Amino acid sequence: MKRRDFLVSGASAGMLAGALAGSGGVSQLAAAVLPQQGNFDLVAVRDGEPDVMFDRAIASLGGMSKFVKKGQKVVVKPNIGWDVSPERAGNTNPKLVGRIVKHCMDAGASEVYVFDNTCDAWNLCYKNSGIEKAVKDNGGKIVPGNNESAYKPIQIPKGKSLKDAKVHELILSSDVLINVPVLKHHSSASLSLAMKNLMGIVWDRRFWHRNDLHQCIADLITWRKPDLNIIDGYRVMMRNGPRGVSEADVVVMKQLIVSRDIVAADAAAALIFGSKPEDIPHIRIAHEMKLGTMKLDTLKINRIKI
């Protein structure tokens, strides 16, 4: 059995089916459904291209106009941290990012900004990830995240380990924040998901690593939750994250998770990876802090197979 078949059809699919499909098993999880609109807590889409999967997901939630109103300023925050090609899956898929920007513009956004506080040289990350071109082609604006003067101090009164931080000024001035991580292995955080992706909006990340990384990840969410979380599981880095070594680290899964609830989104994506949500400390901590739920069987979920 190929590794992708094991991950999608075996252990991880079994766990995901149990959570997302109740007693219906894997066949129900993968059942084709029309993108009907409904008051869904989470949408799980599979077996399509990134842009097509997002079209179906956002349609089932009532369209981007449910999240972005005419004249609003939007920040789309993908992972653009690494100077690698899309095939390496270190960054969010550019086709997905471009499509999200287009939907925001079509909904009447006045401006759509995209940025990340990158680990590698920002200009190379933006270019070689394919994200810069995808954003510009769809009417968005790409902004460097490498200048400390753009980060402003905030207080996090409900934080336990993270009490303050410097956050990019675009986050402070935006009306809508759309969080678009890529699902991948991470050597320090176990998995890099929606909550972890928000480390890219702050300046000093070294503090997090020295002061209970998982608690800091959860603490930031007490300050501001994204309005929408879209987890890219098209190509998934299974090992050697967060940067990866080669395409050999990557499995093509063609999956997408969309939810307002950042904890639920991370829980669903963890299952796709083959992990139990409760075994990822920051998911468990955020659930216990009542920042969202990892109990997927309590949610109304739309399952779409392309």
> pLDDT tens for residues 209-265?
999 999 999 999 999 999 999 999 999 999 999 999 999 999 999 999 999 999 999
| Pairing label, strands 250-259, 228-237 | antiparallel
State which residues form the domain around 159: 32-272+279-305
**Percent share of the chain, pLDDT over 70:** 88
Q: How far is CA 183 from the centre of its chain?
A: 7
How many domains in the chain? 1
> pLDDT tens for residues 78-94?
999 999 999 999 999 99
> Does residue 17 sit within a domain?
no
Find the CATH number of the domain harbouring 189: 3.40.50.11440
Please check whether residue 51 is in contact with residue 257, taking contact to mean a CB–CB distance below 8 angstroms: no
> Does residue 16 sit within a domain?
no
Q: What is the pLDDT of residue 37?
A: 65
> Does residue 7 sit within a domain?
no
> pLDDT tens for residues 261-305?
999 999 999 999 999 999 999 999 999 999 999 999 999 999 999
> pLDDT tens for residues 165-211?
999 999 999 999 999 999 999 999 999 999 999 999 999 999 999 99
> Does residue 88 sit within a domain?
yes
36 pLDDT band, cuts 50/70/90, is low
> Does residue 78 sit within a domain?
yes
Q: Quick check: helix, strand or coil at residue 202?
A: strand
> Does residue 242 sit within a domain?
yes
> Does residue 76 sit within a domain?
yes
> Does residue 52 sit within a domain?
yes
How far is 189 from 186, CA to CA, in rounded Å?
A: 5
